[in-house]
């Protein structure tokens, strides 16, 4: 009579492998494989009955869902064969189950809807467990289906996450191209086509802000901007151009105030806002002014943050910005046209070091007359000689205007 040790050493006496181990549920797997088509058809029929939004899908997209359902059943068979049905031997579901449908399906059907489709399919399979399971394998199959439903949901989440990353990367690239087109001054057609691809609503007005990039991943920088823009209720397109962060803001009644709420997304240093324009088609003008202002801003260390490009006209003119010089020439021309000895008074005021009484003695007029003329200068140009900053801008305007041969000649002063 054999001893217990001999019995335990006999290979024929080894206990059978668990039903869920690799290679287990063989008879059940064959039944599921044969029933794959009918299971997919039943699943789609159940979707049409229980999911109203599914009935509204085009026939082509419903057929894609049918292909995914069939691939899902085949994936269940493969997963069981690889040991996925065993609790102590978990296996991930391959994302290839969703490769049967084109990527556009992920844009049409949300992740929440996909989970609903998976739930319907799993419910149908669970109902068929008594029919699909071979003798003695009904319990292990029911447990395996539960684990499979979890894995297939994780697989769907991975697919949607990758699709979102791809869309995000593509949107970031499109925004960078649009910002580059703005800075290059491309045609309106180019700007319109790229803005349309991004879903730009063309909210009015539109302004461009330029500051230093904070560094790091561009996606993270833009995400910070988008969150702030949603809170403000404005349209926004951003891009990193070299070491600069360029932001297009649409629909903000006060672009300066809106930019002030976005400062956390910029790096250190000045942030310059170009003039507001009616639409994105004309935003090249705003972008040029903002970039020129950003280059010249270091010459005004105490400038507010953000600051308008118009407030930086003197620095921009000294830095060689032709548009700024043109703007200052216009202020000089306005003084010339206004007449009334405004230029003579302004020269005397500057020559006297900003002392009204001294300027009045130089002009042989009463100090109140000087005050009146200085107020007129502020009305004509928008710059008050009594403000140190405005007086600086007027000095540069006088210099630029007199150096430009195209500027109107000043009245002959004797």
**What was the pLDDT predicted at 322?**
92
Q: Provide the CATH number for the domain formed by 321-403 in this structure.
A: 1.10.10.2840
Nearest residue to 43 via CA among 116, 95, 144? 116
- Class of domain 185-310 as given by CATH: alpha beta
**What was the pLDDT predicted at 114?**
74
**What was the pLDDT predicted at 88?**
47
Asked, colleague to colleague, whether 185-310 and 321-403 share their fold, the answer is: no
Sheet bearing 235-241, strands edge to edge: 235-241, 244-250, 206-212, 271-273, 307-308
Q: How far apart are CA 400 and CA 383, in angstroms?
A: 16
Q: How far apart are CA 275 and CA 254, in angstroms?
A: 11
**What was the pLDDT predicted at 217?**
79
Q: For 281-327, write each residue's pLDDT tens digit.
A: 788 888 899 999 999 999 999 999 999 999 999 999 999 999 999 99
Task: Read off the pLDDT of each residue in 384-404 and give the average, rounded to a whole number.
Answer: 92
Structure tokens at 149: 């439903």
**What was the pLDDT predicted at 301?**
93
Query: Confidence band (pLDDT; 50, 70, 90) for 40?
Result: confident
Residues β-bridged to residue 277: 206
Q: For 192-243, write each residue's pLDDT tens digit.
A: 666 665 667 677 898 999 999 888 877 788 788 888 888 888 888 888 888 8
To the nearest 5 percent, what fractions of the chain are helix, strand and coil? 65, 5, 30
User: Rounded to a whole number, what is the distance in angstroms from the first to the last CA of the chain?
Assistant: 140
Q: How far apart are CA 98 and CA 109, in angstroms?
A: 13
**What was the pLDDT predicted at 413?**
44
What DSSP string describes 337-362?
HH-TTHHHHHHHHHHTTS-HHHHHHH
> What are the residue boundaries of the structural domains of the chain, listed by start?
19-165, 185-310, 321-403
Residue count (the chain): 414
Residue with tokens 């997963």: 79
Quick one: what percent of the chain has pLDDT higher than 70?
A: 74
Task: Read off the pLDDT of each residue in 340-367 and give the average, rounded to a whole number.
Answer: 91
Structure tokens at 127: 């109902």
> 10 Å Cβ neighbour count for 296?
24
């Amino acid at each position: 009579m054999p001893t217990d040790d001999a019995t335990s050493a006999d290979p024929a006496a080894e206990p059978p492998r668990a039903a869920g181990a690799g290679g287990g549920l063989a008879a059940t797997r064959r039944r599921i494989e044969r029933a794959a088509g009918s299971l997919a058809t039943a699943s789609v029929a159940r979707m049409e009955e229980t999911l109203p939004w599914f009935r509204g899908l085009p026939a082509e997209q419903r057929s894609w869902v049918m292909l995914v359902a069939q691939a899902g059943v085949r994936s269940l068979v493969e997963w069981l064969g690889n040991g996925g049905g065993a609790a102590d031997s978990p296996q991930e579901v391959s994302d290839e189950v969703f490769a049967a449908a084109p990527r556009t399906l992920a844009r049409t059907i949300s992740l929440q809807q996909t989970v609903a489709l998976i739930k319907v399919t799993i419910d149908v399979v669970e109902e068929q467990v008594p029919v699909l399971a071979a003798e003695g394998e009904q319990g292990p199959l029911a447990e395996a289906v539960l684990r499979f439903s979890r894995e297939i949901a994780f697989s769907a989440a991975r697919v949607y996450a990758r699709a979102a990353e791809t869309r995000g990367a593509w949107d970031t690239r499109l925004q960078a191209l649009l910002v580059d087109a703005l800075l290059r001054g491309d045609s309106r057609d180019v700007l319109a086509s790229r803005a349309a691809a991004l879903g730009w609503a063309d909210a009015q007005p539109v302004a461009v802000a330029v500051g230093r990039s904070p560094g790091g991943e561009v996606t993270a920088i833009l995400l910070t901007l988008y969150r702030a823009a949603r809170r403000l209720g404005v349209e926004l397109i951003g891009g990193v151009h070299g070491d600069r962060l360029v932001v297009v803001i649409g629909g903000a009644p006060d672009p300066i105030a809106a930019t002030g709420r976005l400062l956390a997304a910029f790096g250190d240093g000045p942030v310059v806002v170009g003039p507001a324009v009616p639409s994105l088609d004309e935003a090249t003008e705003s972008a040029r002014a903002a970039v020129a202002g950003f280059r010249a801003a270091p010459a005004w260390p105490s400038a507010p943050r953000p600051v308008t490009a118009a407030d930086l006209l003197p620095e921009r003119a000294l830095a060689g910005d032709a548009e700024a010089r043109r703007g200052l020439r216009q202020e000089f021309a306005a003084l010339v046209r206004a007449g009334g000895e405004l230029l003579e008074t302004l020269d005397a005021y500057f020559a006297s070091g900003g002392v009204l009484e001294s300027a009045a003695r130089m002009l042989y007029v009463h100090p109140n007359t000087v005050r009146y003329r200085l107020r007129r200068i502020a009305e004509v140009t928008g710059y008050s000689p009594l403000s140190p900053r405005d007086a600086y801008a007027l000095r540069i305007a006088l210099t630029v205007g007199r150096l430009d041969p195209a500027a109107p000649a000043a009245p002959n002063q004797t």
